[in-house]
Amino acid sequence: MWQNSPPGSLYDYIRVASFSLGPDGRIEQWSERATELFGITPGQAVGRDPQDVFAAAQQGVLFSGDLGDPGDSSDSNDPGDSNDPGDHGDLPLGGGDGPDVRARTGLVPYQRDGRQQGLAEIYVMPSRNERGERAALCVAVDVRALQGIETDIAASEAVFGQSPLGFFFFGTDLRLLRVNESFAQALGRPVAWHRGRKPHEFLPRTEAERLTLALRQVLDTGRPVADLQLMGPVPGKAERRRWSVSLYRLHGGSGRPIGVAAIATDVTGRRRAEREAAGVRRNLALLNEASARIGTSLDLETTARELLDVAVPQFCDLASVDLYQGLLAGDEAPPGLADGSAELRRVAFASAVSGAPVASDEPDEKAIQVGEVHRYPFHSPCAGALRTAQVQAVPGGGREGGDAPEPGVSAQCTLAVPMVARDTVMGLVQFTRTKGSEPFGERETAVAVELASRAAVCIDNARLYRREHERALILQRSLLPPVDPEAAGLEIACRYLPGNAATEVGGDWFDVIELPGHRTALVVGDVMGRGLRAAVAMGELRTAVRTLAMLDMEPAEVLSALDEIAHGLGRPGGKQSASRGVRGSVRPADLSEVYLATCVYAVYDPVTRRCTVANAGHLPPVLVEEGKPARLLEVQPGMPLGVGGELFEETVLELPDGALLALYTDGLVESRDHPLDEGLQAFQDALTDPARPLEDVCDHVLSALDTHHGEDDIALLMARLRGLPPGHVGDWTLPPEPRSVARARELAREMLPQWGLESLVDTTELLVSELVTNALRYGEGDIRLRLLLDRTLVCEVWDAGSVQPRRRRARDTDEGGRGLQLVGLLSAAWGSRRIPPQGKTVWFELALPDGEAGAPDAVEALMSLY
């Protein structure tokens, strides 16, 4: 397919032409470009010797002689002189057996229409035709056009490379094509690093979004953008820089857009000087007042009102504050933030000429009330201020947003000032002066920016604090147990009161954990410190307590393991100390990363009525027995969790039915108004009637004590001990002999009908047989069988062996190995635990029939094993 180069290509500028020579040295082909360049038609050139063609046109002689034969290597001219204008000579085009083949060039002036047009350089390239005969291809280039292009390139390179201004070019994909050294030095990175980068890779997010929006606008519309203000950090420097960027679209030779060129000027010093000069005289007192009055609270609306209290009427006649709705809701970057199209909420309004906002002079514009959510039109000055983070003057007699002075008083000028904090536009302040007041000047604009900036920082701090406080509170509450926890042999009530909104979230927690054998673990703890870090540490410790409790470890062992976990929380990667004995080597700077917590862990067994308590630096539990005053349990206090390597002791208590056990955190009994001893005594005095409903007892305690101080979180966990009735416990000891398996089945078959659990007889008998058989085969000593009835049915088989059962998958050809698989299929849960000082207990649990769902089918379970 024949085609020309596209319009505006490089060939149009450098003026390239070509023609070819045959074996006889005469012109075989003459291109249209050659006709345009030399003014010689194909009829005047084809078939003629090039010397005659150019001589006829009074061009001088370029070639002499024919192409010669392949072996001819004679050259009548010195090759070093062949580039002189008018020089010519034979062109040796020897074959592969001859001398070296070299291309020749020559310079020749040319004319068109009897006048000189320029100077052409002709490049002769030897070639062969289809018969192997020697030929040549000649390419002619306008030398003066090349020299002009070279001059233009050199000039542009000098301007681009040596200019103190930052030059950079973007392609249509908004990636950098080229930057000069000044731009690279301004951003603190080498030139090569910038190629192919998008704005998000070298500017902060908000500034990158603004630059991207401007680039797209220039590409789409072709209208230049001048003085786009951008801010960003410079690697290796603490200060932030501000650049003024001008953008204009680049076009190719065909007129299509090929990218965007930009010039950046560092205006950091100029802006700093303007800010320093602002408010030197008349506005100094206003700024001092703003420093004292803005930001006295962590409430967003209060901070906005404080800004307007300072500005009206000292600085302007009326003002309003709009904040992004998404930021108020806790979003980091809501959609539309960069282009100013996101929703805003009017949080404050003040006026020295009218008591409330009224409609402006525009008939279609209505007043925006405080608390109302709205948007500004995209092309409005207010939206422009939000989009560019620059102050905008609102034209016309009214304010954007529908707030105008009372009838008869018109606005003279309004400043729309974006509120920027941490490179994020948070909202907009509108300052308006009515007619008769002095219009805003440069100094007043700088003061408006300063007022808005100070308020923005305070609002941002309040927003961040509110977000962190809410997240920590949600995290803390999500980690607490259900409101009404249930446990076998216990009646439980609990209360949790977080500190007030002015205090940080603490690390208090409580938990109720059901253990095998209808036992229950009661836990109360308090992480020292406040804030989100304390709440996270609390969540980690609470999860660890639940995990350790499921392993059925003794209370002292649980606290020892927790101590190691807390000891590693403040270290990189949670590493434990390499040497716990060398605590003096901990540097003072590391102490801030130490996590300490107090915790009390109590396990109650409703069968034996025993409660085993271990304490890690926490306040002791309070026990109330019927007919006796409340008293603090005498348990070993222990060291707080996180010290590392400490041993904890257990206290075993025999507790009667009806006794009341209370676990709590220090926020209940300690405050600034009274010492700890008085608070503990007041707590014991409030527990005077343990027979009352437990929920009423909790309410009475909270009302009797000072629980509204809000200094710390309060956790209260109260449990009334009921124990399991003797009729709900079946306990037998069997000798270690084979007939004990049948005896165990018989005991289970006799006991369950007495409890009304006839539907569970078959399943229980089968599983009891499996556990007793395993105890005979792998255990030691006498076998103890125990059935417990409460909210579920629990069966326990004890023996003196230390080998824990291990569930395995039996093969199809195995005759055994399916006992524990069967237990897992038919029971709701099963497991084993150690029995100090020696022995183990294997247990399983069955859900009580509810009248709808029947007991598991033992036959189907057996068939599923094969």
Cis-peptide, bond into residue 335, ω within 30° of zero: no
Q: Where is pLDDT greater, at 155 or 210?
A: 210
Contact 323, 337 (CB under 8 A): no
pLDDT digits (tens, 9 = 90+) for 54-75: 766 554 444 433 333 433 433 4
Helix residue ranges per DSSP H, 349-485 = 381-388, 442-478
Instruction: Indicate whether 270 pLDDT > 50.
Output: yes
Cis-peptide, bond into residue 606, ω within 30° of zero: no
pTM of the model: 0.53
State the CB neighbour count (10 A cutoff) for residue 737.
Answer: 10
Task: Please provide residue 82's backbone torsions phi and psi, each rounded to the nearest 5 degrees.
Answer: -75, -10
pLDDT for the residue numbered 4: 57
Instruction: Indicate whether 612 pLDDT > 90.
Output: yes
Token reading at 309: 């209290």
In degrees to the nearest 10, what's the CA dihedral of 374, 378, 381, 385?
Answer: 80
Helices then strands, each counted (H, E), the chain: 22, 31
Task: Please provide residue 350's backbone torsions phi and psi, each rounded to the nearest 5 degrees.
Answer: -145, 145
Percent of the chain beyond pLDDT 90? 23
pLDDT digits (tens, 9 = 90+) for 492-540: 998 888 776 555 567 788 899 999 888 999 999 998 877 767 777 888 8
Residues 6+ apart with CB under 8 A from 572: none
Per DSSP, the residues of 764-789 read HHHHHHHHHHHHHHH--S-EEEEEEE
The residue among 437, 440, 434 whose CA lies nearest residue 410 is: 434
Q: Where is pLDDT greater, at 399 or 654?
A: 654
pLDDT digits (tens, 9 = 90+) for 453-471: 988 998 888 888 777 777 7
Token reading at 770: 């499996």
Residue indicated by tokens 């292009």: 149
The residue among 621, 507, 506 whose CA lies nearest residue 555 is: 621
pLDDT for the residue numbered 508: 85
